[in-house]
Amino acid sequence: MAGISSYGGYIPRYRLNRMLIYGAMGWINPVTITNAQGEKAVANFDEDSVTLAVAAGTDCLAGFDRGAVDGVYFASTTAPYKERQNANIVAGALSARDDIRTADFGGSLKAGTTALLAAVEAIAAGNASSMMVCAADCRLGKMGTSQEMIFGDAGAAFLVSDKDVIAEFKGSYSLAYDFVDHFRGAFAQFDRQWEDRWIRDLGFTDFIPQAVAGLCAKYSLQPGDFAKVVYPCYYSGARRSIDNKIGLTPEQVQEDMLGVIGDSGAAQPLVMLAKALEDARPGDKILLVGYGSGCDTLYFEVTDKIAELAPRRGISGSLAIRTDLDNYAKYLVWRRMVPADIGMRGEEDQWTRWSLVWRNSRVVLGMQGNKCTECGTQAYPPQKICVNPDCNAVGRFEPVYVSDKGGKIFSFTSDMLAATPNPPAIYGNVEINDGGKVQLDFTDCALEDLAVSKAVDFSFRLKYYDPKRDISFYFWKAIPAREEVA
């Protein structure tokens, strides 16, 4: 049996009230008031589609053996690299093995569903027993556009495997159209779209029912057979037309969370699916639809095993951890939409030395430290000679990943001098659980949230961005530990 064995979600902590956008930019395009309800999730200055995907993947893998993962697929239309496989960064951060299959899926908003489809088919074909699919997007609309209102940042992840399947993969049906409703050229920063009415009426409202009908015909199903139908469409009026056209009752339709997250692009259907699985019951048939340059439809049936999956943060838990981003200008600076001066200190050149990065690949991406086999002392970064002064054994170590161990705050500060687009820079020493100490940047917190001995988790983040060479460099930061959300 091939299907989903676990799911995870990640919504960034910051939420931007859409009226803030309207208040700043409504003057240039007053019609955006029609989209100015609710809030959208906004990635922190040190987050992007890769880090969102890792956060969702980490949530998904809680309680699972990372060494059993045979492949990592990453789906996004806002991948930081065109060349350098983004999925390998995600795989490294998830401390997956080396002998795995990795791929980036992009180019279309249905990249998320296509990645999931590719993964379940690999399992079904017997080519792998366990695959990770991590999708995330951080699309940008120009200031004053409806896209700026609608797009939100989010990630979702699925562990697809052949055992302990909670939602069995039953079949799929796809459509491919060169229908250019939205597009970005190779060097574009912002989304560009054709007329709304055309996208709404010919795109969403035609293609989604067409794809659902295709799947139903292929597997002799009726739309009424599905407990939940998950499809993206940011035109709320059109959703009703689509439901009617397919023949869905309101209870069958998965909510799109547009008012609390926004449309998360290639991740959107998967974010909605992760949410649907939180409430799914054994026997439920779930239909997943991806839209963009055509459609993917995937059909799942929930199994008894869903009751055995340990509760995870998921979309609901992640949504509950929120802070208002009460400053539109800050959003613009964080997303690099406008240039802001962070001081000349921040202009000092920093080279990324790739041969050095490679030698320390697991140490940096996976936060791999080591543990002395003589005395058991754990350390990060890994030591060459045991740091325990009563041991000092040379080269007797086994690797140990500390990224999911968390720790306790040892000392901390909040620094107004350090150059950052999000001052003050907060950082400190953290005592790693099971031993060792490491000095890290802190993120997703304010000074008031910190105290010596308080628990922290580690979160994979953008360490720095080198604008001169277009390098996104990643490492781990400390964040205040978040209580498990039931």
Residues 6+ apart with CB under 8 A from 27: none
Question: In the bound complex, what is the minimum distance in angstroms from residue 376's beta carbon to other proteins?
Answer: 12
Q: What are phi and psi of 268, to 5 degrees?
A: -55, -55
Instruction: By CB under 8 A, tell whether 197 contacts other proteins.
Output: no
Between strands 130-137 and 154-161, the pairing is antiparallel
β-sheet bridge partners, residue 7: 158
Q: Give the type of residue at 53.
A: A
Out of 24, 375, 387, 485, the only residue in the binding site for other proteins (CB under 8 A) is: 387
CB-nearer residue toward other proteins: 30 or 467 = 467
Phi first, then psi, for residue 466 (nearest 5°) are -100, 100
> Considering the complex, what minimum distance in angstroms separates the CB of residue 93 from other proteins?
14
The CA dihedral of 367, 60, 73, 54, to the nearest 10 degrees, is -40
Q: Whole-number minimum distance, CB 157 to other proteins, in Å?
A: 25
Q: What 3 state SS string does 347-360 have?
A: HCCCCCCHHHHHHC
Q: Report the relative pairing of strands 39-42 and 71-75 from DSSP bridges.
A: unpaired
Window of 138-146, 274-282, 329-337, 346-354 that interacts with other proteins by CB under 8 A: 346-354
Q: Which residues from 467-486 bind other proteins, rule CB under 8 A?
A: 473, 475
CA–CA gap between residue 155 and residue 13 (Å, rounded) = 12
348 binds other proteins (CB under 8 A): yes
Is 361 among the residues that bind other proteins (CB under 8 A)? no
- Rounded to whole angstroms, how far apart are CA atoms 374 and 190? 55
Does 68 engage in binding with other proteins (CB under 8 A)? no
Could you say whether residue 411 binds other proteins (CB under 8 A)?
yes
Where is 150: in which H helix or E strand? helix 146-150
- Residue from 142, 245, 322, 463 touching other proteins (CB under 8 A): that is 463
Asked if 136 and 129 count as a contact pair (C-beta separation under 8 A), the reply is no
First to last CA, the chain: 28
Q: How far is the CB of 424 from other proteins (least distance, A)?
A: 8
Q: Binders of other proteins among 423-452, rule CB under 8 A?
A: 424-425, 427-429, 431, 435-441, 447, 452
Closest separation in Å from C-beta 469 to other proteins: 15
**Cβ 441 to other proteins, closest distance in Å?**
4
* Contact of 54 with 31, CB cutoff 8 Å: no
Do 261 and 152 meet the contact criterion of CB atoms below 8 Å apart?
yes
Residue 395 is a binding residue for other proteins (CB under 8 A):
no
Residue 416 as a binder of other proteins (CB under 8 A): the answer is yes
> Least distance to other proteins from the beta carbon of 74, Å?
22
- Closest by alpha carbon to 231, among 214, 202, 252? 252
Q: Contact letters (x/-) for other proteins, 216-255, by CB under 8 A? A: ----------------------------------------
- The residue among 291 and 476 lying less far from other proteins, judged by its C-beta, is 476
Which among 48, 13, 49, 45 is positioned nearest to 136, based on CA atoms? 49
- Residue with Cβ nearer other proteins (192 or 437): 437
Of the candidate residues 29, 193, 388, 433, the single one contacting other proteins (CB under 8 A): 388
Q: How many helices (H) and strands (E) does the chain have?
A: 13, 22
Binding interface with other proteins (CB under 8 A): 343-345, 348, 350-353, 356-357, 360, 363-364, 377, 379-381, 383, 387-389, 410-420, 424-425, 427-429, 431, 435-441, 447, 452-453, 463-464, 473, 475
